[in-house]
Amino acid sequence: MDKQKYAKIEQSITPKKPLLKNCIKAFLTGGFICLIAQFIAVFYMLFFNFTERTASNPTVATMIFISMLLTGFGVYKKIGQFGGAGGAVPITGFGNAVVSAAIEHKSEGFVLGVGGNMFKLAGSVILFGVFSAFLVALVKTILVKLGVVSW
């Protein structure tokens, strides 16, 4: 059997991926997570006198905390299975990645297992986030000093 004939047979028996359905599920999952975050931000603004700008930090921290709890209880795995990238893209995916690695390696002990493996995936996110923030701040500072923009 030649490669072309094999490829045709493989293509005919491979199930078709429901791309549109998966995109809609990811959109709805990510949108629902963002809706919850918006409710939390409004809660902070109404009850704790935060402004729109200052409510963002506690909102992000709360969303990460909620995703970590849901991961610990095994609920976030179901959200990820249903919503795909919709559950991984928002900030909650970060919390899920950290706790998932910790849970997976807890049998190796707290120091070498949990501590050593917790930030394998999340460490790169933190590193590039801090580095990107530094570059943006540097460019902003240069542009302000040159008088190109005023903030």
pLDDT at 95: 85
pLDDT at 38: 96
Q: Which of 35, 105, 23, 99 is nearest to 65 (CA)?
A: 99
User: Which tokens in the block code for residue 85?
Assistant: 């990238």
Measure the CA–CA gap between 36 and 30, rounded to whole angstroms: 10
pLDDT digits (tens, 9 = 90+) for 67-93: 999 999 999 999 999 999 898 877 888
Q: Across residues 31-41, what is the average pLDDT?
A: 96
Read off the pLDDT band of 40 (50, 70, 90).
very high
Residue 121 pLDDT more than 80? no
Q: Which of 92, 149, 102 is nearest to 125 (CA)?
A: 92
Give me the chain's average pLDDT, please.
89
